[in-house]
Homo-oligomer: A and B are copies of this chain.
Amino acid sequence: MSVTAAAGFLAAGVACGLKTTGKRDLAIVQNRGPLKNVASVFTSNRCKANPVLWSQQVMADGIADAIVLNSGGANCYTGARGFQTTHATAEAVAERLDISAGDVLVCSTGLIGEQLDLDKLKTGVWDAGLAILTGGATSEQAGLDAAHAIMTTDSVPKLSVRTVAATAAATASAATNVAYTIGGMAKGAGMLAPGLATMLVVITTDAMLSSEQLDVALRQATRVTFDRLDSDGCMSTNDTVTLMASGASGHEPGIEDFTLELTALCKDLALQLQADAEGSSHDIAITVTGAISEDEAVDVARTVARSNLFKAAMFGNDPNWGRVLAAVGTTQATFDPYNVDVAFNGVKLCIAGEPGESRTLVDLSPRAVDVVIDIKAGPASATIWTNDLTHDYVHENSAYAS
């Protein structure tokens, strides 16, 4: 169901020729309200694509009617003409759906440094608009079509839905037991890194929440989910995660409860991105415990996640804890470098800085790998999700210009 699961949302995904394969490459998600509240987080890369620059302006007032997304081109480093293309795309959506261009968010993904074909974009907007205006756009299939249209090297669409039951304290809008729904779609397979991945994510909810509440919840949720995904250390120019609320359920959840549900949905989508990372053969969770702060735990875990030697060893099913420590030692976190434990899949290979249990006890053939590094300096911990460095990663990223 994804973005069409929550009441008040319509979606469509069509093919307009931006992808040379002829597959779907343009999606629109419209919020029919009654609320049109929105919050977004964007890439922290200073080189931001034109659609990011545009969307930052659109969402500044906390209101958006629709979002249009295309694959087949990032529209980044395309100058003034590229910005005009983004603007014209929003205008086309506004005209088609009889809304204001200033309330239309735009997302693009694909190759940097090439102009998008505006005629194709307009054709796509026309066709997607037709689908939205003529019915069927609230269906599961409509949500799936939209998710397909934002895929690049993704092998599968990423969808997630959570229906939250009404509690005694809650005021459900319907006769059912469902108080409100959150649904989302995501794309991203390479360039997955800090401050979000190469990632476009649209999340919809029919809960009644202000744009300020959405912003607080979204920042809390992404901080511990998408921001903890670091597949290849490379940060995109186009990352956008947008959360839209229609209020159509009539239910006003507590902000803590909503944040918990949203976080669970974001984690589900983030792990789907990890599982589909380009060329990967392992999903690796690197957990640092015993840090003096969560920030330092994240720093140490991320540094290990970015060690090519560690990542190549994982591809080779080699529990090479020396490479873990060599990476840990490059950080400025507080710990004694000669009193660290390292465990692979529960086997403590390094205990207090010396060889511990035998490497032969570790089986790294399954896709999931857990690395736990105890730096014994404090109470904080954090997990970074990453992937291994494989022949297929090199192949996909050398043969495919993206």
Contacts and interface: CB of A to CB of B under 8 A. Distances in A.
The list of the 4 closest CB pairs from A to B, nearest first, reads: A112-B322, A316-B398, A47-B329, A312-B397
Contacts of A326: 45, 47, 112, 191, 234-237
A234 B307 contact: yes
A190 interface: yes
Q: How many copies does the complex hold?
A: 2
A320 B349 CA distance: 41
Contacts of A394: 312, 315, 389-391, 393-394
Interface in A337-354: 337-338, 349-350, 353-354
A173 to B, nearest CB: 44
B191 A309 contact: yes
Contacts of A322: 74, 76-77, 111-113, 237
Interface residues of A, number: 61
Interface in A84-100: none
Contacts of A395: 391
Given A77-B325, A77-B355, A233-B306, 13 more contacts: A47-B328, A47-B338, A48-B337, A77-B350, A77-B354, A113-B349, A114-B355, A233-B308, A312-B398, A315-B398, A318-B398, A389-B394, A389-B397
Main secondary structure of the interface of A (DSSP, over half): loop
A399 B391 CA distance: 12
